[in-house]
Amino acid sequence: TSATIAACAAGAAWLWTTSDIDTAGTIRFVNRLAVPPLDTGRRDGSGRRVFDLRAAVGSRRLRPGRPTPTWGFDNGHLGPTLRAARGETVVVNVRNELTETTTVHWHGMHLPASMDGGPHQPIRVGATWSPSWRIDQPAATLWYHPHPHGRTGQHVYRGMAGMFIVDDPSGGPPGLPGRYGVDDVPVIVQDKNFDGDNRFDEASRLIGGVGVLGDTVLVNGTIAPYHDVTAERTRLRLLNASNARTYRFGLSDGRPFALVGTDGGLLPAPHTTDRIQLSPGERAEIVVTMRPSERLVLRSHPPELGADFWTSRLTGGDDTLDVLELRAAPRLTPSPALPGVLAEPPRIGSADGRVDRRFELANFMINDRVMDMSRIDFGVARGVTEVWEIVSTDLLPHNFHAHGTRFQVLSVGGAAPPPELRGWKDTIYAPRQVPIRVAVRFGDQADPNTPYMFHCHLLYHEDQGMMGQFVVTEPGRSPGRPALHDGHG
Ligand code: C2O
Ligand code: CU
């Protein structure tokens, strides 16, 4: 087309237009990758790390023409990267300046159910919610996003999402790149559609019961982004914060990278691979090695969704999407070799054939039930390890996420898990008719009346009710009843 590249009025950055797609359909990367501001909070009198988040509407100049109305934390789009270390007690004051009730859920965090930010902790307009908990889990890349029942998809799509990095107080294994925004970079990937007025279009391409699939990929809210690489090795913290799309990331020249972490923390050892697939909600930390002056594109290839032909067609599975260009400087800071050992492998369960609970995902339900705020589906005894089996049985792709814990994958389709599933997980893709077994344990205090959620993290499915509730009880005790809020706080 003859469209021209327009200068961004606000920041003099160059904006992406159709002219930036060459004849081979490849995007030219013209916008410097935005890096969410790092927020390490402040210390209060009792040594707690205190964060303040403000949920509010905003706007962003994402494309030529009108600014895009957005929602977000603090900045009006996405949110700061919160960062704290294991052993610390954190407080997050979340003020809702939106026009409707929301919640903020700490995805992947182990914390008491009343702090979890699910649908049972609504924050009404004008109110401030101040959950507090002690961080007690391995270093990991977590994230936060709203979870109001039936509206999670809308709130996330409008821009409510941020990263939460948990550090190890010892600093973790030496040798991993760790300079935030320089060689340790958040990569929050979301696909969007825009309407004729540059608004996020939540309604179009709601395809085949899968949810909204976008034709434009944003990283940290940037379209067609590049990142200036200044070190030999760069760690990318990949977060699939999309509503429905599954990505299968690789590098444009096919070179391998090191997968060093997944949802719940570092892998036992770096795993060299050339692909990592992430369904919505999943994270991966990868380390990419580059030579001076080269350019490399982080690209998403058609995902492996399962044996079903029309499933992949329906989910945009045929799409190859360019996500982020990495531009190496003529001189790169030397990076140390990666450590051979990263973390203790998860060891809470063994594949001895026992299954304590089974979750069948089909027809927007789990085990033939639609989510009900007033129904507790089961109780789990505190401190007891259970084996859960998850299986998708309909024709749509699904994944499975459980709140308040992390799990160890015991088997996938009866076989030992592949290397990328050998670290801690909290969200896992469930290919059609492939049973997945995980070992899970809840160490936090029992609260028989406040539920945690388990659900499909394709947000349209979750909002349709493909979700359930469980509570953690003292051993031998029965679940109670959830106290229902009116949804306005
Ligand atoms: Cu990412 Cu129930 O959430
Ligand atoms: Cu689903």
Residues 206 and 160 in one domain: no
Q: Which residue has the tokens 């009880």?
A: 473
Q: In which band, very low, low, confident or very high, does the pLDDT at 393 lie, cut at 50, 70 and 90?
A: very high
Handedness of CA 259, 264, 266, 270 (dihedral sign): negative
**Whether the CB of 461 sits within 6 Å of ligand 1:** no
Ligand 1 atom 1, closest CA: 107
> Which tokens hold the place of 56?
């509010």
Measured CA to CA, the distance from residue 120 to residue 250 in angstroms comes to 38
Residues around ligand 2, an ion, CB closer than 5 A: 398, 456, 458, 461
Model confidence pLDDT, tens digit, residues 228-242: 999 999 999 999 999
Is the pLDDT score of 109 beyond 50? yes
Top-confidence residue, 134 or 214:
134
* Cα 3–Cα 57–Cα 7 angle in degrees, nearest 5: 25
**205 shares its domain with 307:** yes
State the distance from the centre of ligand 2 to the C-alpha of 211, rounded, in angstroms: 9
Q: Is 248 in the pocket of ligand 1 (CB under 6 A)?
A: no
- 372 vs 420: CA distance, rounded Å: 34
C-alpha 111 to ligand 1 mean position (Å) = 14
Q: Are strands 447-455 and 398-402 parallel, antiparallel or unpaired?
A: antiparallel
Ligand 1: atom nearest CA of 143 is: 1
State the pLDDT at residue 7.
28
Backbone angles phi, psi at 313, to 5 degrees: -60, -45
> Confidence class of residue 316 from pLDDT cuts 50, 70 and 90?
low
- Which atom of ligand 1 is least distant from the CA of 462? 2
Last residue of a domain, one of 138, 167, 196: 167
- On the question of pLDDT at 203 being above 70, the answer is yes
Q: Is this complex's ipTM strictly greater than 0.95?
A: yes
- 142 contacts 265 by C-beta, under 8 angstroms: no
Nearest protein CA to atom 3 of ligand 1, as residue? 107
The answer to whether residue 96 sits within a structural domain is yes
Q: Please indicate whether residue 105, judged by its CB atom, sits closer than 6 Å to ligand 1.
A: yes
Looking at residues 89-116, what average pLDDT do you find? 97
| 454 and 375, same domain (yes or no) | yes
- DSSP labels, 120-179: TS-B-TT-EE--EEE--S-SEEEEEE---TTTHHHHHHTT--EEEEEEPTT--STTS---
State which amino acid sits at residue 158.
R
Task: Specify if 349 maps to a domain.
Answer: no
Q: For the segment 170-202, what is each residue's pLDDT rounded down to a tens digit? A: 989 999 999 999 999 999 999 999 999 999 998
pLDDT of residue 209: 81
Decide if 164 contacts 82 (C-beta within 8 A): yes
Q: Are 394 and 466 in a shared domain?
A: yes
Q: Of the candidates 281, 300, 333, which is a domain's last residue?
A: 333
Residue 244 CA to ligand 1 center (angstroms) comes to: 13
CA angle 247, 252, 258 (to 5 degrees): 70
| Phi, psi for 114 (deg, rounded to 5) | -70, -10
Helix (H) or strand (E) holding 312: helix 309-314
CB count, 10 Å around CB of 476?
6
405 pLDDT above the threshold of 60: yes
Judged on CB neighbours under 10 Å (0-12, 13-18, 19+), 170 is exposed
How far apart are the CA of 457 and the centre of ligand 1, in A? 6
SS3 (DSSP) at 396? coil
Ligand 1 atom closest to Cα of residue 467: 2
What 3-state class would DSSP assign to 295? strand
What pLDDT does residue 74 have?
A: 85
Cβ-contact 432, 311 below 8 angstroms:
yes
Residue-level pLDDT at 28: 83
Question: 373 C-alpha to center of ligand 2: Å?
Answer: 19
Determine whether the shortest distance from the Cβ of 455 to ligand 1 is under 6 A.
yes
Q: Which two tokens stand for residue 392?
A: 């998708």
Q: Is residue 23 part of a domain?
A: no
Residues 215 and 315 occupy one common structural domain: yes
Looking at the structure, do residues 316 and 193 belong to the same domain, yes or no? yes
In a domain, 315, yes or no: yes
Q: Are 13 and 31 in contact (CB under 8 A)?
A: yes
- Is the model's pLDDT at 13 over the cut of 50? no
138, pLDDT greater than 70: yes
Q: Which residues contact 67 (CB under 8 A, 6 or more apart)?
A: 59, 60, 61, 198
260 & 304 share domain: yes
- Answer whether 149 contacts ligand 1 (Cβ < 6 A): no
Ligand 1 in reach of 404 Cβ (< 6 A): no
Q: How far is the CA of 324 from the centre of ligand 2 (A)?
A: 27
User: What is the number of structural domains in the chain?
Assistant: 3
State mean pLDDT over 85-92: 98
pTM: 0.93
Q: Does the CA dihedral 439-445-449-452 come out positive or negative?
A: negative
Residue 18 falls within a domain, yes or no? no
What integer pLDDT is reported at residue 399 of this predicted model? 96
Confidence at residue 291, expressed as pLDDT on a 0 to 100 scale: 98
373 domain-assigned: yes
Beta strands 436-441 and 283-289 are unpaired
Q: Does 387 share its domain with 440?
A: yes
Q: pLDDT band at residue 306, thresholds of 50, 70 and 90? A: confident
Q: Is the pLDDT score of 26 beyond 60?
A: no
Both 190 and 323 in one domain: the answer is: yes
The reply to whether ligand 1 has any atom less than 6 angstroms from the CB of 453 is yes
Please name the amino acid found at residue 479.
P
**Does the Cβ of 145 fall within 6 Å of ligand 1?**
yes
- Measured from the CB, is residue 237 less than 6 Å from ligand 1? no
For the CA of 108, the closest atom of ligand 1 is: 1
DSSP state of 464: H
Distance from the alpha carbon of residue 154 to the mean position of ligand 1, in angstroms: 14
Please say if the pLDDT value at position 79 is more than 60. yes
Using an 8 Å Cβ cutoff, are 337 and 446 in contact? Answer: no
Average confidence score pLDDT of the chain: 91
Residue 403 CB–ligand 1 contact under 6 Å: yes
Domain carrying residue 90: 34-167
CB burial of residue 54 (10 Å; 0-12, 13-18, 19+) = middle
Atom of ligand 1 nearest to the CA of 281: 1
Between the CA of 331 and the centroid of ligand 2 the distance, in Å, is 46
**CATH no. for residue 450?**
2.60.40.420
- Per-residue pLDDT, averaged over 130-148, amounts to 97
Atom of ligand 1 nearest to the CA of 107: 1
Beta carbon of 235 within 6 Å of any ligand 1 atom: no
Tens digits of residue pLDDT in 412-461? 999 999 999 999 999 999 999 999 999 999 877 899 999 999 999 999 99
Q: Is the pLDDT of residue 25 over 60?
A: no
DSSP label of 432: B
120 lines ligand 1 (CB under 6 A): no
Shared domain for 257 and 380, answered yes or no, is no
pLDDT at residue 4 is higher than 70:
no
pLDDT of residue 377: 98
Q: Which two tokens stand for residue 146?
A: 């709203």
Distances (CA, A) of 318 to 61, 166, 309, 349, 408: 29, 35, 11, 37, 31
Q: How confident is the model at residue 276 (pLDDT cuts 50, 70, 90)?
A: very high
Whether 192 and 318 share a structural domain: yes
Distance 222 CA to ligand 1 centre (A): 23
Better-scored residue on pLDDT, 79 or 27: 79
